[in-house]
Structure 1
Amino acid sequence: MRTAFQWIMSIVYVFQNAVMMLVMGILFFPWALVSPKGAMTACKTYATWALWSARWLVGIRTEVRGTVPSGAVLVPAKHQSFLDILMIYNAIPQPRFIMKYELLFTPIIGVYAWRLGCVPVRRGKRGAAIKSMLADVDSGRVAPGQLVIYPQGTRVPVGEYQPYKVGPYVLYKETGQTAVPVATNAGMFWPKGTMLRTPGLAVVEFLDPIEQGVDQKDFMHQLEDAIETGSNNLMREAGFEPDEVG
């Protein structure tokens, strides 16, 4: 009976969330077209609504731990769920994401991504995208901020492992910025591939920064160890025992 109720409330949550995304996207669209501030306000408003309604409709509470970065930094993050995107976006002051180039041509979403200063990446052309981003910052088209990248390149379901890609190191080297890794357990409550949302405490945790001056091998080792260890600890805290990898 409890499971059936959770399914019903999950469907209600997913439906109203989609409606609110569409409504806010349309309402804020004129402002977003003329100002990055409009795009930022729209996305922050939607993220706040999605997290607030998740608590009251499906019982997902959210918590941000660690020191939230406020300057121009790189944010390599564990990605288990759309929920961790919302939590990270809502937590950091000037977020932008590495994104697939094709998303630029998605109605409404593409305009918001462009106005937010997200970095569209074509396969095999990451270096050119980063140079374009740095030029946009220098020209004043976008403000310096926190650049979020997913080192595994995709959402990774709880209990599974995907190898880390070299992209975060390329960004670390090209931008000259400090990297602030992020761990999460969000996929336990908002899993990939299902509408079911389960109650509990979803956490994103900003970990100790990796300062400049680290070579590729050490950077990738530090990054993976920090994110995987941190995420595993958060999942254990929520009652899941992950397999240790590496």
Structure 2
Amino acid sequence: MSDRAASPVPGPLTPWQYLQNGLYYVHVAFATLAIGLLGIPALLRDGRAGANRVATRWIGYMLWAARLHLGVTCEVRGTPPTDDCIIAAKHQCFLDILVIAHAVPRRAFIMKREVMRVPIMGWYAWKVGCIPIDRNRGRDAMRAISTEINRRIAGEGLGQLIIYPEGTRTRPGERRPYKHGVSTIRAGSGLPVVPVAVNTGLFWPRKGWGIRPGRAVVEFLPVVPAEVPVEGFIPRLEAEVETHSDRLMAEAGFRATAVPAP
């Protein structure tokens, strides 16, 4: 892991901003319960299509509430994919999950199995096509995921599988080594990979508290060419995502320069 020297940390939140952060989370908690319960008939009647309609409505409401309470607006650049593919994205906070998922029609994630057992929202995760992972199984887990992806491609289709190659949220100015899971899935499925750059962490912290107003940008980049070999894929992906994320953050006034890893 390496950090990059960052622009000055903004000052503390005002009391009003603390209140707005709290109101947002209370608001979306009740909205999540209401939308989830009201959407169950569509979930039962229309399966994945119904679940995706409810998910689009819920995510859109979350983004609208972020504008209302927090002054956070979102811009999507590039062309969001609509066919089966892998989306390999920079991950800084919950906001980039929402924006990417809202931009594509059949979103799916690889999620911890425990999360998919949560009542109501876990049901939707199953129905929209999220794939459970048991991290305790190591390489067996990746083989199981690859098998499931190929089964879906041969059946009803996979959708847009959203993966975060760093494996966790990162602060603006922080880099972590890209994991090879996305390369393994690409090689086994033949799916195109769409890189995504973000600057969302400048406004929405990793832990979700201390959100500040601003215009967050998520940019869908050109597909990594199919002729890029396996051994060159991760370096190519990392260069694309990190370079464009740095550019988006610089546009918002953030400056970062590489420093050696500790």
* TM-score range normalised by the length of the shorter chain: over 0.9
Q: 1:12 aligns with which of 23, 26, 29?
A: 23
Query: What corresponds to 2:257 in structure 1?
Result: 243
Q: Is the 8 A contact 1:185 1:231 kept in 2?
A: yes
Q: Does 1:39 align with 2:18?
A: no
Q: Does 1:129 align with 2:140?
A: no
State the distance in 2 between where 1:2 and 1:73 align: 40
Equivalent position SS for 1:192? coil
State the distance in 2 between where 1:117 and 1:2 align: 38
State the distance in 2 between where 1:180 and 1:245 align: 28
Q: Does 1:57 align with 2:57?
A: no
Q: Is the 8 A contact 1:11 1:196 kept in 2?
A: no
Equivalent position SS for 1:172? helix
State the distance in 1 between where 2:21 and 2:32 align: 16
| Residues 199-210 of structure 1 mapped to structure 2, 5 A cutoff | 199-210=213-224
Q: Is the 8 A contact 1:33 1:111 kept in 2?
A: no
Shift of 1:44: 0.5
State the distance in 2 between where 1:2 and 1:176 align: 47
Q: Does 1:196 align with 2:179?
A: no
Shift of 1:194: 4.4
Higher normalized contact order (CA 8 Å, seq sep 6+, divided by chain length): 2
Tell me, which stretches of 5 or more residues in structure 2 are unaligned? Answer: 1-11
Segment drifting more, 146-155 vs 24-33: 24-33
Equivalent position SS for 1:180? strand
Shift of 1:102: 2.2
Equivalent position SS for 2:82? coil
Query: What corresponds to 1:152 in structure 2?
Result: 166
Aligned residues: 244
**Runs (4+) off by over 6 Å:** none
Q: Is the 8 A contact 2:13 2:210 kept in 1?
A: no
Q: Is the 8 A contact 2:75 2:217 kept in 1?
A: yes
Q: Does 1:21 align with 2:32?
A: yes
Segment drifting more, 195-204 vs 2-11: 2-11
State the distance in 1 between where 2:75 and 2:66 align: 13
State the distance in 1 between where 2:182 and 2:249 align: 24
**TM-score, reference length from structure 1:** 0.93
Tell me, which stretches of 5 or more residues in structure 1 are unaligned? Answer: none
State the distance in 1 between where 2:152 and 2:183 align: 21
For residue 192 of structure 1, what is the amino acid of its counterpart? R
State the distance in 1 between where 2:161 and 2:13 align: 40
**TM-score, reference length from structure 2:** 0.87
Alignment identity in percent? 40
Per-residue deviation, residues 3-46 of structure 1 (Å, max 9, x unmatched): 22122111111210121112111211232234112211111101
Cα RMSD, aligned residues only: 1.8
State the distance in 2 between where 1:243 and 1:170 align: 31
For residue 239 of structure 1, what is the amino acid of its counterpart? G
State the distance in 2 between where 1:195 and 1:185 align: 17
In structure 2, the CA distance between the partners of 1:139 and 1:67, relative to structure 1 (3 Å rule), is closer
Q: Is the 8 A contact 1:81 1:191 kept in 2?
A: yes
For residue 174 of structure 1, what is the amino acid of its counterpart? G
Q: Is the 8 A contact 2:52 2:105 kept in 1?
A: no
In structure 2, the CA distance between the partners of 1:114 and 1:194, relative to structure 1 (3 Å rule), is closer
Shift of 1:150: 0.4
State the distance in 2 between where 1:166 and 1:209 align: 18
In structure 2, the CA distance between the partners of 1:2 and 1:78, relative to structure 1 (3 Å rule), is closer
Per-residue deviation, residues 78-104 of structure 1 (Å, max 9, x unmatched): 111110011001101211111122222
Per-residue deviation, residues 145-190 of structure 1 (Å, max 9, x unmatched): 1111000111112222211100110111111011110000111111
State the distance in 2 between where 1:170 and 1:122 align: 17
Equivalent position SS for 2:165? coil
